Structure 1
Amino acid sequence: MKEEVPVLEYTDVTIESRGLMVPVRLKLTDQGITFRNVKTGKVETLNSSDIEVVNWQRLSGSYGIRIFTENGSLFRFGGFKESEQSKLEKFFKNTYSKTMSEKEFSVKGWNYGAAKFEGAVLSFDVSSIPAFEVPLSHVSGCTTGKNEVTLEFHQHDDAAINLMEMRFHIPTSELAGDDPVESFQQRVMAKASVITATGDALAIFREVQCLTPRGRYDIKVYPSFIQLHGKTFDFKIPVTTVLRLFLLPHLDQRQHFFVVSLDPPIKQGQTRYPYLILLFSGDDTDLLELPLSEEELHEKYEGRLDKEMSGPQFELISKMFKGICNRKIVTPGNFMGHSGTPAISCSYKAAAGYLYPLERGIIYVHKPPVHIRFDEISSVNFARSGSTTRSFDFEVEVKNGLVNTFSSIEKGEYNRLFDYVNQKKLRIKNRGKMEMGSRKDDFDNSDADEPDPYMRRVREEAKERDQDDDEEDSSEDEDFAPGEEGSDVAEEYDSYAGDSSDSGDSEGGLVEGGEKKKKEKRERKQKSKTVSEKPRKRRQKKERDENKPKRAQSAYFLWLNEHREQIKKENPGISITEISKVAGQKWRALEDKTEWEKKAAEAKQEYEEAMKAYKISVGGSSSGTPKKSPSQKKVPVSVTPTKAGGSGAGFKSKEFIEDDSSDDDKPLKKKAKKETKNEKEESEEEEEEEEESSNASDKEEDSE
Structure 2
Amino acid sequence: MSSLSFDNLSSEHLGYWSPIKLKLTPTTLHFKNEKTGKTGHFETKLINTAEWLYRARGYGLCIKLSNKKRYYFDGFAENEFEKVSKYFEENFRVKVKNVETCLKGWNWGQPRFEDEYMEILIDGMRSFDINLKDVNNASLNKNELTLQFQTSDEAFSIYEMRFATVSTNENVMSEMFRNVVKEANILEASGDALVSLKEMHCLQPRGRYEIKLYSQFIHLRGKTYDYSVPKENFVRFYLLPHPDERQIFFVLQVNPPITHGQTRYYFIILLFNNEDEISIDLNCSDQMLQENYNGSISKNMSGLTYEVVTKLYKNLYDQKLTVPNKFESKLKARALTCSYKTTSGFLYPLDKGFIFVPKPAVSIRSDEIISVNLSRASLMQRTFDFDIEASNGITHTFNSIDKSEYNGFLEFIRAKKYVLSNGESVTRQEDWSSSDGSHDGYLERMKEEGKRSRARDAKVIVQDDDDDDEDDEDFNPEEVGESDVAEEYDSEVSPSSSSEDSNAGDAPSKVATSEKSTDEKPAKTKESIKKQVIKAKVDKVVEKKSDKKSDKKASAGDTGTKKKKKKDPNAPKKPLSAYILYSNDVRDEVKRSLPPGSSIGDIAKVIGERWKTVTDAEKTKYANIYKIEHQKYLEAMKKYEKSGIAPEKVTKSQPKGEILGKLSAGVFKSEEFVESSDTSD
* TM, length-normalised to structure 1: 0.64
Q: From the superposition, tell whether residues 479 and 185 of structure 1 become closer, same or farther in structure 2 (CA, over 3 Å).
A: closer
Matches within 5 A, 1:159-238: 159-169=155-165, 171-173=167-169, 179-238=171-230
SS of the residue 2:192 aligns to: coil
Q: Verify: 1:130 aligned to 2:118, yes or no.
A: no
Q: From the superposition, tell whether residues 61 and 223 of structure 1 become closer, same or farther in structure 2 (CA, over 3 Å).
A: closer
* Alpha-carbon distance between aligned partners in 1 of 2:14 and 2:69, rounded to the nearest angstrom: 13
Q: From the superposition, tell whether residues 100 and 410 of structure 1 become closer, same or farther in structure 2 (CA, over 3 Å).
A: same
Q: From the superposition, tell whether residues 403 and 170 of structure 1 become closer, same or farther in structure 2 (CA, over 3 Å).
A: same
Q: CA deviation at 1:468?
A: 3.1
Matching residue of 1:83? 79
Match of 2:311 among 315, 319, 325: 319
Matching residue of 1:434? 426
* Alpha-carbon distance between aligned partners in 2 of 1:444 and 1:255, rounded to the nearest angstrom: 34
Q: From the superposition, tell whether residues 51 and 229 of structure 1 become closer, same or farther in structure 2 (CA, over 3 Å).
A: same
Q: Verify: 1:290 aligned to 2:279, yes or no.
A: no
Q: Verify: 1:457 aligned to 2:445, yes or no.
A: yes
Matching residue of 1:353? 345
Unmatched segments (≥5 aa) in structure 2:
462-495, 514-538, 550-666, 668-681
Q: CA deviation at 1:390?
A: 0.9
Q: CA deviation at 1:274?
A: 0.7
Letter of the 2:445 partner, please give it. Answer: R
* Alpha-carbon distance between aligned partners in 1 of 2:542 and 2:69, rounded to the nearest angstrom: 80
CA displacement, residues 274-305 of structure 1 (integer Å, 9 cap, x when unaligned): 11111112242221122223222221221221
Q: From the superposition, tell whether residues 392 and 129 of structure 1 become closer, same or farther in structure 2 (CA, over 3 Å).
A: same
Q: CA deviation at 1:476?
A: 6.4
Letter of the 2:22 partner, please give it. Answer: L
Q: CA deviation at 1:459?
A: 5.2
CA displacement, residues 409-451 of structure 1 (integer Å, 9 cap, x when unaligned): 101111111111122222223453333xx21x2222442434x
Q: From the superposition, tell whether residues 327 and 108 of structure 1 become closer, same or farther in structure 2 (CA, over 3 Å).
A: closer
Asked whether the 8 Å contact 2:136–2:149 carries over to 1, the reply is yes
Q: From the superposition, tell whether residues 457 and 153 of structure 1 become closer, same or farther in structure 2 (CA, over 3 Å).
A: same
* Alpha-carbon distance between aligned partners in 1 of 2:349 and 2:414, rounded to the nearest angstrom: 12
Matching residue of 1:524? none
Q: Which runs of 4+ in 1 moved over 6 A?
A: 473-476, 483-487, 546-549
SS of the residue 2:103 aligns to: coil
Matching residue of 1:9? 5
* Alpha-carbon distance between aligned partners in 1 of 2:30 and 2:190, rounded to the nearest angstrom: 33
* Alpha-carbon distance between aligned partners in 1 of 2:455 and 2:75, rounded to the nearest angstrom: 54
SS of the residue 2:409 aligns to: helix
Match of 2:432 among 443, 466, 471: 443
Q: CA deviation at 1:547?
A: 10
Q: From the superposition, tell whether residues 53 and 223 of structure 1 become closer, same or farther in structure 2 (CA, over 3 Å).
A: same
Asked whether the 8 Å contact 1:16–1:75 carries over to 2, the reply is no
Match of 1:406 among 398, 408, 414: 398
Q: Using the TM superposition, name which of 110-119 and 208-217 deviates more.
A: 110-119
Q: CA deviation at 1:469?
A: 6.5
Q: Verify: 1:271 aligned to 2:263, yes or no.
A: yes
Asked whether the 8 Å contact 2:152–2:257 carries over to 1, the reply is no
CA displacement, residues 147-180 of structure 1 (integer Å, 9 cap, x when unaligned): 221222224322435352222326234xxxx922
Matching residue of 1:606? none
Q: CA deviation at 1:186?
A: 0.8
Asked whether the 8 Å contact 2:9–2:21 carries over to 1, the reply is yes
* Alpha-carbon distance between aligned partners in 2 of 1:63 and 1:327, rounded to the nearest angstrom: 31
Asked whether the 8 Å contact 2:146–2:160 carries over to 1, the reply is no
Q: Verify: 1:38 aligned to 2:34, yes or no.
A: yes
Q: From the superposition, tell whether residues 279 and 547 of structure 1 become closer, same or farther in structure 2 (CA, over 3 Å).
A: farther
CA displacement, residues 578-625 of structure 1 (integer Å, 9 cap, x when unaligned): xxxxxxxxxxxxxxxxxxxxxxxxxxxxxxxxxxxxxxxxxxxxx9xx
SS of the residue 2:308 aligns to: helix
- Aligned pair count reads 488
Q: CA deviation at 1:185?
A: 0.4
Letter of the 1:286 partner, please give it. Answer: I
The structure having more radius of gyration, on CA atoms, is: 1
Q: CA deviation at 1:315?
A: 1.8
Q: From the superposition, tell whether residues 546 and 300 of structure 1 become closer, same or farther in structure 2 (CA, over 3 Å).
A: farther
SS of the residue 1:132 aligns to: strand
Matches within 5 A, 1:256-267: 256-267=248-259
Identity %: 36
Q: From the superposition, tell whether residues 548 and 392 of structure 1 become closer, same or farther in structure 2 (CA, over 3 Å).
A: farther
* Alpha-carbon distance between aligned partners in 1 of 2:201 and 2:353, rounded to the nearest angstrom: 26
Name which structure has the greater RCO, CA cutoff 8 Å, separation 6+: 2
Q: Verify: 1:93 aligned to 2:85, yes or no.
A: no
Q: CA deviation at 1:485?
A: 13
Asked whether the 8 Å contact 2:85–2:95 carries over to 1, the reply is yes
Q: CA deviation at 1:366?
A: 1.5
* TM, length-normalised to structure 2: 0.66
